[in-house]
Chains A and B, each alone.
Chain A
Amino acid sequence: MEQKFKRDITSLEGIFTFIEQFISSNNIAPSHLYPVQLVIEELFTNILKYQSGGKSDVVVHLEKSDNKLIIRLRDFDSEPFDLTKSEEVNTNEYIQQKKPGGLGIHLVKQMVDSLDYEYNNRTSTITLTKHLEM
C-alpha cells in the first residue's frame, strides 16, 4: 500500500490517516500506530528540512510481510543524505549541552529494527523494518 504526498507540512494529516488505515486494514495491533506515525513524521519532516529544494512528491510505502512491517519513503528529487551514517546522539550529553535538535533520527533508530538508505538517480529511498509481536 503506498501513497504520494506533497512535500509540505500540511501533508502530515493525510500521512497519519494513511498509516491509520493501513494498520487497521492489516490487523496490526493499535499499539504500533504511535511509533509508526512518529518514525514517518520524523523522516518526512527531515526531508522537508534538509531537501527543501526538491520539487517531487514523497511516496510513503507500507507493507506487512510475515511478522514484519516494512516502511519505505522515496524522495525522487533529493541530494544524498544517508541517515544511517548520522552521528549517534548521546542523550545524556545532549541534556547537559542544553541544545535541542537532532532528536528525530535518534527516535527513529530507537523505534525500528533496521534502517537502510539507498541513493540512485537523485532518488533517496529510506527503508525501515519493525518486528510486530504475534
Chain B
Amino acid sequence: MFHVEHGTEGTIVLTGRLDASQADKAKSVFDNITESKVIDLKDLEYISSLGLGILFSTQIRLKESGHQLKLINMNDHIRDVFKYTSFDKMFEIE
C-alpha cells in the first residue's frame, strides 16, 4: 500500500510502495503543492517510473516559480533509480 501523510513542519511523508497502480493517488497530492516542500522518503520502499515522473513534473513546475522539492531519507534502491535517470541532479537530496 502507499500512503501520503503531512508530517511536522509542513513535511510530506511518503510511505509504502509507489507503483503504477498508486500513481493517481500520488499525483492528486503533488498537483496541489504550490511552494517548496520537504518530502520524507524514510518509509518509501519502492518507486517506479510513473512515480518518478510525478516528482519530476512537480519539480519542474515549482522551479518555474522559484520553489522546489527537497528529498530526504531516501533508501539505497531508490537512490540508484535516481542515479540511473540523472534525477539526482534535479533535486536536493539529503
Contact = CB atoms under 8 A, between A and B. Distances in A.
Chain B interface SS verdict (over half): helix
Contacts of A45: 20, 48, 50
Interface in A1-60: 9-10, 12-13, 16, 31, 34-35, 37-38, 41-42, 45
B60 A98 contact: yes
B86 interface: yes
B3 interface: no
Interface string B47-62: 0111011001100100
B48 A41 contact: yes
Contact of A100 (B21, B46, B53, B77): B53
Given A10-B21, A41-B20, A111 B50 contact: no
Interface in A55-105: 91-92, 94-95, 98, 100-101, 103-104
A42 B86 contact: no
Contact of A95 (B77, B81, B89): B89
Interface residues of B, number: 21
B48 to A, nearest CB: 5
Chain A interface SS verdict (over half): helix
A123 interface: no
A104 B49 CA distance: 5
Given A37-B46, A42-B48, A104-B49, A12 B20 contact: yes
Contact of B53 (A13, A91, A101): A101
B81 A12 contact: no
